[in-house]
Amino acid sequence: MITLTDVDGLKKIVRDAVDEKRVVLEDIAMFLYENPELGSEEYKAFEKLTGVLGDHGFEVEKGIYGMPTAFKASFKGGAEGPRVAVLAEYDALPGVGHGCGHNLIAASAVGAGIAASRAVSGLAGEVLVVGTPAEEGHGPSAGSKVVMADHGFFDDVAGVVMLHPGSRWGVGGQALGIHQIEMVFKGQTSHAAASPEKGRNALNAATLTYMATHMLRQEARRDANLVIHGIIPEGGLASNIIPDRAVCQFGVRSSDEKYLGEMVEKVARCAEGAAHAMGVEVEITKRKLYSSKKLNIPMVKTLWGNYKELGAPVRDWRESTTAMPMASTDFGDVSQRTPVAGSNIASALEGTPGHSVQLAEATMTKQGLDAMVLGAKALGMTLVELLARPEILREAKEYFDSH
């Protein structure tokens, strides 16, 4: 039986291993920063990460589920047991490079995996480092975690952790699910002054849809964190021609998966009603992008405890888990399949905007690299603790099944 003292010793192995590999991890972060690649096109990053993991004894499977830049790297412990995983992202943003800090996410995941592999020879289980491309939604591998989740990849993974750079420390922040809706309105052109009665105005239907959707906000559930945002990217070609084509595009987000589906249908009905009122046709395309993040308190408390053990100034986990969710991520789809815990590291100064050149530049500062190294330690310590203390995974599974 493994004692708490034994666990402390295993965690020290992890910390020492991350310190030993700091130069390797900083090299990964710098290489990705200097070679930013859009989602589904991260070939340099893919080769870099899989090469480092292979050199450190991981069995690497490349191009999983038909996604050329996705991978699974595994390292087995001393006996068969549960599988735990840390996720790597490595796609950049157009124009700003690694303005979401994915170069630090990748480096921390590789560091956590390598460090954990040093401590699992006496444990039952397996450590995975999973390469998940195109989190920002670009290209055919867009939202790769959704693809993996839909194929059942995470169904036999007992726990998953990762981190995200930013300007604050925290563990357990939540995320909104998001659906995308596109409405294409089709009417009839006519001269806007000479024969307006012969036209059917598609733009009027799009405008009415936009306003009707806006009105839905008044009756939205306040506890479901509903967000609706949209544009009219097409609305006609000339002011003296009644438009026969107009397009509305909306994103609908909520922290409640069931309620999100209901609101998507309400937005669609706004378009149907507007089309009927204006005498035009409408084609509606609905596409689910990402699920909301499912909270798992046992996983969050474990990861949070390891950040605290390292002296990180993380907010109390209760504050993080009850804060209003602000964005969406394909990590939410992982959380709907298995217990997860995500974290945020302060790689940049307070107030630095996300998806910015400033945040990208911060990843190469001492603050950014120090935060990445500390995060790698916390993630690696958590992977090892989950295998060394299987009761945590049992509690996490019970919580997952009951919430």
- Model pLDDT for residues 80-93, shown as the tens digit of each residue: 999 999 999 999 99
Q: Is the pLDDT of residue 4 over 70?
A: no
The pTM for the full model equals 0.92
Average pLDDT for residues 51-55, to the nearest whole number?
A: 98
Distance separating alpha carbons of residues 162 and 171, to the nearest angstrom = 10
Percentage of residues in the chain with pLDDT exceeding 90? 97
Query: What confidence category does residue 111 fall into, taking pLDDT thresholds of 50, 70 and 90?
Result: very high
- pLDDT (0 to 100) of residue 1: 63
Mean per-residue pLDDT, 136-144? 95
Quote the tokens at residue 267.
């937005």
Average of pLDDT values for 55-61?
98
Residue 188 has pLDDT above 80, yes or no: yes
Rounded average pLDDT over 10-24: 98
pLDDT at 301 over 90: yes
Work out the average pLDDT over 258-266. 97
Tell me the DSSP string of 132-198. Answer: ---TT--STTTTHHHHHHHTTGGGG--EEEEEEEESS-EE-----EEEEEEEEEE-B--BTTTSGGG
Q: Are 304 and 157 in contact (CB under 8 A)?
A: no
Tell me the mean pLDDT in the region 343-372. Answer: 97
Give the DSSP letter of residue 41.
Answer: -
Location of structure tokens 């024969």: 195
In this predicted structure, the answer to whether residue 104 has a pLDDT above a threshold of 80 is yes
Reported as a single tens digit per residue, the pLDDT across 381-397 is 999 999 999 999 999 99
pLDDT band at residue 326, thresholds of 50, 70 and 90?
confident
Burial track 85-98 (b if 16+ CB lie within 10 A, e otherwise): bbbbbbbbbeebbb
How confident is residue 121, by pLDDT bands cut at 50, 70 and 90?
very high
Domains (range + CATH), the chain: 4-175+293-402 (3.40.630.10), 177-290 (3.30.70.360)
